[in-house]
Amino acid sequence: MDRLKLVLQYFQSNSESISNGICIILSLISVKLYTSFDFNCPCLPQYNKMYALGVMLVPPVILLLLGVLVSRHTGVLMEEWVRPLGNRTKNPAVRKFLLSSMLQRALLAPMVWILMTLLDGKCFICAFSMNVNPKYFTGIPNSTGLELIKIMAKVPCKEDAIFKNSSFRKAVSRYVRCYSQAIGWSILLFFIFLGAVGRVLKPCFNHATFLQTRYWSNYLDIEQKLFDETCVLHARDFARKCVVQFFESMREDVTVRMPLSNALRPSSIHNEHEEEEEERLHGITRQDQVDHLLQTWYECKPELDVTKMAYKPKVCITWEDHNGKALFSEV
């Protein structure tokens, strides 16, 4: 149980860990789906290749789309891509970094599926058994009256009666499976070699640029998270105040007479609570203010300079006499 908690804490630590966890889960799902999938080649010349290539390529496309949809980088990338310029410039390097990170993680599950189909060889045998030259093999069943192309299309079907007591089907299947596994291992070796070369050559490039790009891509993600969390807290306090005001408006007036104590002055009781609520609402207390805030956040993101003090509106209290003439004011 403690190990499970540590794993969950790791995946909840940041968006990169969450994305890695989602990619691992999708890869495991692709393995489970392939092992539980009942592959049945139609053994017909006009359908073999279509069926086999469909099984080999359609699920990876679905897994790729799922990987793109569930990736946190997708939302951050699209928001950064379509947002108005405002006070903040757009960095093309950050968008390229987000795009590459999204694609690297999204391509993991499709590649696992394709490698499994190639290493298993069933799809490859079903698709390309008709392309094998039967002259290189002995024991071809030539007394059945079928065309040669139809005989080769039935190679994936080991239960077919025409291959009874014949080693021809097994020989062709082994031959095509060798090609399939060779392609699969070659692709796997290529990606391992590509990753090793990238790891070795990484220090040869400007590492400071990479750190800057990674920092600002993480910043965009964290900024959006904090804004969403702040909006949720504001909405909760805003709703609470609206509900409380509604309930208080339904109350009837009650007059209670009691001696006034300095410790129980109404102003001292309510002022602290009201100030605390106003601080949580950040002065945004009306629907038009909320709409304007959200519109401004979308159209004009704040400048990346925390040394500039944000403008804070001040409250000015003016005391007037019974004629409406201002006596004095206090800020």
**Residue 291's pLDDT band (cuts 50, 70, 90):** very high
Q: For position 276, what pLDDT does the model report?
A: 61
Q: Grade residue 183 by pLDDT with cuts at 50, 70 and 90.
A: very high
Q: Tell me the pLDDT of the chain averaged across its residues.
A: 81
Q: In the structure encoding, which two tokens stand for residue 63, read together?
A: 């897994």
pLDDT in tens, 297-318: 888 888 888 786 555 556 666 6
pLDDT number for residue 174: 93
Q: Rounded mean pLDDT of 118-135? A: 91
Q: Are 39 and 120 in contact (CB under 8 A)?
A: no
Residue 321 pLDDT > 70: no
Separation CA 158–CA 165 (nearest Å): 11
Looking at residue 186, its amino acid is S
- Mean pLDDT, residues 275-302: 83
For the record, the structure tokens of 192 come out as: 């391992």
Return the H-helix or E-strand segment holding 271: helix 266-281
* pLDDT tier at 177, thresholds 50, 70, 90: very high
DSSP SS3 for 32 = helix
pTM value is 0.75
Domain chopping of the chain, boundaries: 1-204, 220-327
Q: Are 227 and 83 in contact (CB under 8 A)?
A: no
Q: What is the pLDDT of residue 16?
A: 66
Query: Shortest CA distance to 92 belongs to which of 199, 209, 14, 205?
Result: 209
Backbone phi and psi for residue 251, each to the nearest 5 degrees, phi listed first: -75, 150
- Residue 150: pLDDT above 80? yes
DSSP 204: G
Distance (Å, whole) CA 27 – CA 106: 10
Percent of the chain past pLDDT 70, that is, above it, reads 77
- Picking from 54-68, 166-180, 188-202, 310-324, which range would have the lowest pLDDT averaged per residue? 310-324
Residue 322 confidence (pLDDT) above 70: no
The 10s digit of each residue's pLDDT in 243-282 is 988 888 887 665 555 554 555 444 444 555 556 666 678 8
Angle at 304 between CA 300 and CA 309, to 5 degrees: 90
**Helix (H) or strand (E) segment spanning residue 13:** none
Q: How far is residue 313's CA from residue 127's CA, in Å, rounded to a whole number?
A: 72
State percent of the chain over pLDDT 90.
33
